[in-house]
Amino acid sequence: MKFSSKLIKSITDIKKYNYFRMLSLKSTLLYLFFVTLIFGFISYIPQAYNYYTFLDILEKEITHNFPDFTFDGKELIIQGKQPTVLMSARNIPIYIDTTNKTSEGTIKDYEKVVAVFSDKIIYKTSNYKIDEFNYDIFNNYRFKKSSFTSMIYSFKMASWLIVILGPLMFYAMNLFMAFSAAIIAILFNAVFNGELSFKEIFNISIHAMTLPIIINCLVRIVYMVIPAVNYVLFFITLVYIYFAIKYISYRKQIIETV
């Protein structure tokens, strides 16, 4: 069966799980790898682009418009009156307050804003898209404005590592989720007297994750906030596994009675 057919049938046809369970473990793991690779790239490219854009704005604004500052190893210290608001070249307000006199709630008043605080920078492009950059990675480092601009360039180049490492982490995460679902599916196998091996159950679990992987990709792209989204996706996986094992067991019983 072609990859595209597996993808579609994993979502739309429970009966095909009787075929999926008999596939080799290598074939099943390759299927998961390509699914997570494709949808991982799709979901992580917007994140990498947003991170790169954020750093690009930061680099230009710090170079041309930002007041002098120092980082003492823990907190950012900016000279001059605060809080203050600067306007970037892209007409995005830059809200600056490293005195801790105002809260993060202040950015709610802005549709788009770059908010600079003593411990983090917040980049808001809409009410649903808010990126945070914490200074934790700079712990124990000390620098000034002039040296920081050269550091940002390196971070801009590294931002595209998200596109490479993101899908690989996505694969590892989904592999673990499939294994966890297979452990629970042993109970379904016992209830329906399916007599399936763990390898067969694991094959079923991996194909059952197709729709959750696609949903996860869409959630990342549109920045949709779903409470406990991983639990929701795990539940969807278990539903597919439940009905797949139920069908396979029922089919086996019919064959045995004939």
- For the chain, give the mean pLDDT: 85
Average pLDDT over residues 156-185: 88
Q: Amino acid identity of 81?
A: K
* pLDDT tens readout for residues 18-28: 999 999 999 99
SS3 124: strand
Q: ∠158-229-108 over CA atoms, to 5°?
A: 70
Q: What percent of the chain has pLDDT above 70?
A: 96
Question: b vs e for 31-60, b when ≥16 Cβ sit within 10 Å of the residue's Cβ?
Answer: bbbebbebbbbebbbebbebbbbbbebbbb
Q: Does residue 249 have a pLDDT over 70?
A: yes
* pLDDT tens readout for residues 68-106: 888 887 788 887 788 888 876 667 888 888 887 777 777
Return the pLDDT at 188. 93
CA distances in angstroms from 210 to 4, 53, 163, 227, listed in the order given = 12, 31, 20, 21
Cα–Cα distance between 244 and 175 in angstroms, integer? 19
Number of Cβ within 10 Å of residue 226's Cβ equals: 12
